[in-house]
Structure 1
Amino acid sequence: MACSGGLDSTLLLEALCRFRPEVQVTVAHVNYCLRSESTGDADFVRRLAERHGLSFYDRVADLSKMETGVEEKARQIRYRFFDDVLSETGSAAVLLGQHRDDQVETILLQLIRGGAWQNKSGMAAESGRYRRPFLTLSKKELLAAAKEMGLAWREDQTNQDPHYTKRNQLRQVIIPALQEMNARFPEHLLELGTQMAEQQALIQGQAVRYYADFVQDYRSVPDEWWPACLKEMATRAGYYRLKKEQIDQFCQLLHHRQRPNGRIDLGDGYFFEKTYYEIALKKKETTAPVSNKKMVKVSQQNGPLVLELDQWYFFTDSMLKLQSNAFLPVNDQCIALPKQLDGPLSICLASKGDRLSIPNGHKTVRRLQIDEKIPVEDRAKTLLLKDQQENILAVFLGQKRWYFTQDWPKGQPNGKHCLVWRIEEN
């Protein structure tokens, strides 16, 4: 459990030891070196753990030189440390001493900070492996219990300074002023937080039910549910900085039927992407951009490649090999070549103007890519398989499949060779 040495966490530790002796407890403490008493707090918690025969872990993170962003930095350090202790000890959960008064402050802070897609329901009693057993108890109730048990704890005098943190300003000035207007203000705010949590759970539940259909064809989902589905998509991708204006921009793109493809940048390398009727949230690759003028073999040969037997050819994200039918792979990434195609075959990257034969005429590669709904970013990876007369036999469309032209021999028995390919997943 996390213990600062203050009233709340000291009471939680004592309650565990007295009333739940079967629970194996490890004590964790962070010293931010922000006050002259910080080292004394750490020593107090260490002695407390020793008195109860408990393991003690501490971390020193000197933030005394920071002028801004101290609270957020301390929070990041604290939770990273708790996760490390969880991993090292194999503990099931981290217990925190936050209480009902803390919850009132948290909800009010969330409302003040705004953000249409940010949480406004406060802290959860259970969040992942974090537990807050005092969340329904007030500071007054905890103080009475600690005095009844005869406990000693450390007092942080900075908590009384309304200018020290924004939370202190809420605690010492704003909330008391609101209580003068209505003594039940904290209770009403907690009720609002509960209502918002319940409503968000309903919205998320429906978004989850819509999700599979939404990503495959967003038109199958009522458009009023698109924002909730996009938020669910961001959550699944681990992106938690989504803004309402970004949602609105992408929904406008979804409504724009004359733009079948497009994307909205979200920052941090993430973007929403629309590819015809499919939706995705992706992260930009850090590798060098794909060149549509160069193919790569082990020998770094440029231009079209003549396929030799049992030789792997390496491209940007795939490998290709011509081999004997006697060694067909167990998966389906294989084309059995017609007997008529025993002559040399070559492969090259396609350009937009390349033309291939189709029933009753010809079609450019660009038109084929559009008709086959190939994403714009995958079009530079399109490969052409040609025979020795330079006829385009097949087109690899960058989506693990081939398109066969009118020049592909039909009705021919399979020959002795096959074309095998592998996709290198990022």
Structure 2
Amino acid sequence: MARIPAPVATVRTAVRRVLSGLPRGALVLVACSGGPDSMALAAATAFVTPRLGLRAGLVTVDHCLQEGSAARAVAVTSWASSDFEPASVLTVDVSGRPGGPEAAARDARYEALTAFAAAHDAMAVLLGHTRDDQAETVLLALARGAGPRGMSGMPVRRGLLVRPFLDVSRADIRKACAALGLQVWDDPHNVDPAYARSRVRADVLPVLVAALGPSVIDNLARTAAQLAADNAALDDLAAAAVTDELVVADLSVLPDAVRTRVLHMWARRLGAGGSALSHRHVAAMDALVTDWHGQGAVALPGGILVARTDGRLCRIGL
């Protein structure tokens, strides 16, 4: 029996690890663009799922942002049709969405994938992000001043979305594709300097590797995992302190990291959710607790006003 190439074993093991707890007969979807990461993911999933008694489907999202994208999406599903059911193309419209083109495409893609998974009773949607992607995410978050939450990077699991390859290098993914004879497509957006992530990938990370050694990528990804664990613990502490109205005396004795999370969670509970809720809003609410000098109400996204009244923080104007 021929020995399985190490990179192929690596990607299969990564997929098996995240799927092993699912009930037999469950449907797992692979989000596949045709690039090396998602093609390796699809091939590994096609190998692993029957051995775990699972069903595999594949979805490719056409953002309609590049010439030939529709034909490429059809080619991916045609390749997948023998091993995946369903094998479907989802066409999305990214126009008019907030944020830059990367954020708009990502939000549209995740919405479409989640809706498709719900419609087909899928228990997971697998995404092909790698350890290198995680390192890039940490650097981008650091550049934005995103703090520990942003620097914790992409989670392995969030809802139905699962990322098996966050501990797998992009180099090993490429080697697995070559060993399996997979025909992959390289997205020109990945090397387009108009995108911040492309600049980090092409310019910033190579400089860091040259200066600090190749372990810098592993260390950045490891930092993200450590921060994610810390954030989860702090979020649990904060969640226990969130009530409909917040008592200033109770808030004032909380550690800063917990108190600001309480305020963030409370604002989201009031309806000020999404990316519009920023550090600036949380800092203004925190000043009602820690730097009180009779200031007026804080305006949150969604037309929500929060004020300090009789030693409490409460929503006003209802």
TM-score range, shorter chain: 0.7 to 0.9
Give the alignment partner of residue 122 of structure 2, picking from 64, 87, 91.
91
Work out the number of aligned pairs and report it: 280
- Residues 51-90 of structure 1: pairs in structure 2 closer than 5 A: 51-61=82-92, 69-90=100-121
Write the distance in 2 (CA, Å) between the matches of 1:36 and 1:197.
38
Structure of higher RCO (CA pairs closer than 8 Å, 6+ residues apart) = 2
Superposed CA RMSD: 2.8
AA partner of residue 247 (structure 1)? V
Look up the match of 2:173: 142
> CA shift at 1:168, angstroms?
0.9
**Cα contact 1:49–1:55 (8 A) shared by 2:** no
Give the alignment partner of residue 265 of structure 1, picking from 299, 304, 307.
299
Write the distance in 1 (CA, Å) between the matches of 2:225 and 2:31.
25
1:114 aligns with 2:145: yes
Look up the match of 1:176: 206
Write the distance in 2 (CA, Å) between the matches of 1:255 and 1:40.
58
CA shift in 2, pair 1:46/1:272, >3 Å: same
**Cα contact 1:31–1:58 (8 A) shared by 2:** yes
CA shift in 2, pair 1:194/1:256, >3 Å: closer
> CA shift at 1:234, angstroms?
2.8
AA partner of residue 263 (structure 2)? L
CA shift in 2, pair 1:40/1:253, >3 Å: same
- Residues 309-328 of structure 1: pairs in structure 2 closer than 5 A: none
AA partner of residue 284 (structure 2)? Q
CA shift in 2, pair 1:229/1:151, >3 Å: same
Look up the match of 2:17: none
CA shift in 2, pair 1:33/1:243, >3 Å: closer
- Residues 253-402 of structure 1: pairs in structure 2 closer than 5 A: 253-255=288-290, 259=294, 263-280=297-314, 282=315, 377=317
TM-score (norm 2): 0.78
> CA shift at 1:235, angstroms?
4.1
Task: List per-residue Cα deviations over 1:234-276 (Å, max 9, x = no partner).
Answer: 34445243333333332333357775x9531012223333332
CA shift in 2, pair 1:51/1:110, >3 Å: same
> CA shift at 1:143, angstroms?
1.5
1:207 aligns with 2:241: no
Look up the match of 1:416: none
Write the distance in 1 (CA, Å) between the matches of 2:198 and 2:105.
16
**Cα contact 1:117–1:244 (8 A) shared by 2:** no
**Cα contact 2:49–2:56 (8 A) shared by 1:** no
Structure 1 or 2: larger helix share?
Answer: 2
Write the distance in 2 (CA, Å) between the matches of 1:255 and 1:64.
42
Look up the match of 1:245: 280
1:234 aligns with 2:286: no
AA partner of residue 276 (structure 1)? D
Write the distance in 2 (CA, Å) between the matches of 1:62 and 1:209.
39
AA partner of residue 61 (structure 2)? V
Structure 1 or 2: larger strand share?
Answer: 1
CA shift in 2, pair 1:254/1:191, >3 Å: same
> CA shift at 1:62, angstroms?
6.0
> CA shift at 1:216, angstroms?
4.9
AA partner of residue 3 (structure 1)? C
Unaligned ranges ≥5, structure 2: 1-29
Unaligned ranges ≥5, structure 1: 283-375, 379-426
Look up the match of 1:355: none
TM-score (norm 1): 0.59
> CA shift at 1:99, angstroms?
0.9
> CA shift at 1:194, angstroms?
2.5
**Identity across matched positions, percent:** 27
Give the alignment partner of residue 166 of structure 1, picking from 196, 200, 203.
196
Write the distance in 2 (CA, Å) between the matches of 1:5 and 1:173.
25
Write the distance in 1 (CA, Å) between the matches of 2:94 and 2:307.
40
AA partner of residue 138 (structure 1)? S
Look up the match of 1:35: 66
AA partner of residue 219 (structure 1)? A
Write the distance in 1 (CA, Å) between the matches of 2:152 and 2:290.
31
1:10 aligns with 2:39: yes
Task: List per-residue Cα deviations over 1:4-47 (Å, max 9, x = no partner).
Answer: 01111111111111122122222211112333342332122121
Q: Secondary structure at the match of 1:42?
A: helix
CA shift in 2, pair 1:190/1:244, >3 Å: same
CA shift in 2, pair 1:154/1:236, >3 Å: same
Write the distance in 1 (CA, Å) between the matches of 2:218 and 2:59.
32
Look up the match of 1:50: 81
Task: List per-residue Cα deviations over 1:122-163 (Å, max 9, x = no partner).
Answer: 0000011110011110011112222222222222244234x2
AA partner of residue 231 (structure 1)? H
Q: Secondary structure at the match of 1:9?
A: helix
